[in-house]
């Protein structure tokens, strides 16, 4: 799998932060040497912003990086990190943080996700996606909705690539009962969900609204994992206005991993979940 600009920025930022801390240099000091605000350097170190090669040259001097091979590799990471993602033409319509999430999701090896209100975007049909976008983004013109639907469908390429992403989804039952459009739209969507649940790289569980001795409450979130050990897991949670909040802190990732495990334990098993989905589709 080719490594895209989002991961390259993230890897370079991690390396730069490690080099700075090894020299015991304050972020504010390095930012002043670059002539940028500390917040700009922080965005570079967290992979949220690309690194200009001119900035990188100064930082490598400050950090005492003299090995020509290491310098060349980091320069290549910086140049590749400046490339735009495939979603760039729709960036002005995307919720805050969603573009970076798409870049990470496209290169993740596994996604564990809990959805509280609607079905995960990786498994949405076109009509269902259009209904969800129109209902959650009031005021959008039909053409804008169409552009966002195209993004939603394009991101599903991770399911059909040579090494498909491993998806483990826990759905609140309310997401299956909430009608997003006419009955035929929901019927096709439930059929798509049932079909996906039969794939070897997908696990689908349903958290019932009733029953269960250990209830767990949580908003929607996802935990992304990557094949390379150098790329730590990322937690993504939805904000009040649809924006995505990404967190790479180990403590937060572990905490949300535990929440997901608890949700999975409280949910129906995959076989019983498939039976429930099949029953709802039959209605």
Kind and range of the H or E run holding 142: helix 142-154
pLDDT tens digits, one per residue of 151-201? 999 999 999 988 899 999 999 999 999 999 899 999 999 999 999 999 999
User: What's the pTM?
Assistant: 0.81
The C-alpha atoms of residue 54 and residue 141 are separated, in whole angstroms, by 41
CA-wise closest residue to 252 among 233, 229, 275: 233
Domain 90-282 coded CATH 3.30.870? yes
Contact indicator for 115, 180 with CB cutoff of 8 Å: no
Instruction: Return the SS3 of 23.
Output: coil
pLDDT tens digits, one per residue of 191-249? 999 999 999 999 999 999 986 656 778 889 999 999 888 788 999 987 655 667 778 77
Domain boundaries of the chain, sorted by first residue: 5-81, 90-282
Q: Do domains 5-81 and 90-282 have the same CATH topology?
A: no
Domain 5-81 coded CATH 1.10.260.40? yes
């Amino acid at each position: 799998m080719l490594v895209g600009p989002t991961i390259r920025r993230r890897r370079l930022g991690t390396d730069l932060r490690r080099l700075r801390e090894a020299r015991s240099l304050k972020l504010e000091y390095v930012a002043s040497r670059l002539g940028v605000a500390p917040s700009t350097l922080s965005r570079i170190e967290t992979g949220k912003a690309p690194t200009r090669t001119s900035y990188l040259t100064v930082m490598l001097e400050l950090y005492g990086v003299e090995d020509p091979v290491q310098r060349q590799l980091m320069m290549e990471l910086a140049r590749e990190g400046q490339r735009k993602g495939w979603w760039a033409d729709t960036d002005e319509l995307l919720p805050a943080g969603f573009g970076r999430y798409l870049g990470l999701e496209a290169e993740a090896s596994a996604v564990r996700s809990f959805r509280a209100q609607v079905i995960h975007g990786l498994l949405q049909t076109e009509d269902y996606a259009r209904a969800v976008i129109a209902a959650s983004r009031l005021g959008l013109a039909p053409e804008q909705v169409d552009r966002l639907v195209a993004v939603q469908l394009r991101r599903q390429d991770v399911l059909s690539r040579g090494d498909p992403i491993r998806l483990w989804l826990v759905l609140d039952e309310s997401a299956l009962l909430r009608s997003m459009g006419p009955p035929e739209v929901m019927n096709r969507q439930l059929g798509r969900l049932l079909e996906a649940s039969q794939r070897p790289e997908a696990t689908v569980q349903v958290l019932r609204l009733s029953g269960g001795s250990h209830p767990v409450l949580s908003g929607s979130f996802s935990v992304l994992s990557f094949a390379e050990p150098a790329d730590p897991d990322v937690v993504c949670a939805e904000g009040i206005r649809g924006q995505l909040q990404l967190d790479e802190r180990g403590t937060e990732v572990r905490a949300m991993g535990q929440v997901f495990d608890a949700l999975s334990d409280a949910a129906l098993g995959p076989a019983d979940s498939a039976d429930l989905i099949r029953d709802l589709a039959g209605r």
